[in-house]
Amino acid sequence: MAIDVFTDEWCAAWEEKLKESKDFPVYNKGWEGDVGCIIQPDPEKGLNDEKYLYLDLYDGTVNGIRMVDKEKAESAKFVMIGPYVRWKQVAKTELDAIKAMMQGKLKLKGNLPYMVKYLKGTQEVIRCLTLVDSKFPDD
């Protein structure tokens, strides 16, 4: 059964998939830094309010993925900001997150070359997200 995106249940399902991954610990060995995600609203698509995600990742382990307030998301070492439509494209593997940042489709506050160094790890985080049966507001 599909889970509504940007909910605690959805975050927990994503976290579980990431913890089950055999590749995530390998690709993210040495990673230091939490990640905040800011999803800008798109009322025409059914997302009326800004949403905030927080990924607590460190040295190949996932310590939590959860919905947070704006202050917590913005306090992360890496903050990714973008419109709802771009996040949906990333979640459906229609858009690569790193390319989206390089092309300005998603904005990054933080060190992009550092993220690129962990490209396979970033891709694994997204791959695990795609394993969650997600229901988007405009589906």
Task: Taking residues 12-25, report their average pLDDT.
Answer: 97
Tens digit of each residue's pLDDT (9 = 90 or more) over 52-102: 999 999 999 999 999 999 999 999 999 999 999 999 999 888 998 888 888
Task: Taking residues 15-37, report their average pLDDT.
Answer: 96
**Integer Cα distance of 3 and 129 in angstroms:** 12
Confidence of residue 115 (pLDDT cuts 50, 70, 90): confident
Terminal-residue alpha carbon distance, the chain: 14
- Residue 45: what pLDDT? 94
**Integer Cα distance of 113 and 43 in angstroms:** 34
**Integer Cα distance of 30 and 44 in angstroms:** 41
Residues 6+ apart with CB under 8 A from 51: 6, 38, 39, 41, 67
The answer to whether domain 3-132 has CATH 3.90.180.10 is no
- Domain locations in the chain? 3-132
pTM of the model: 0.93
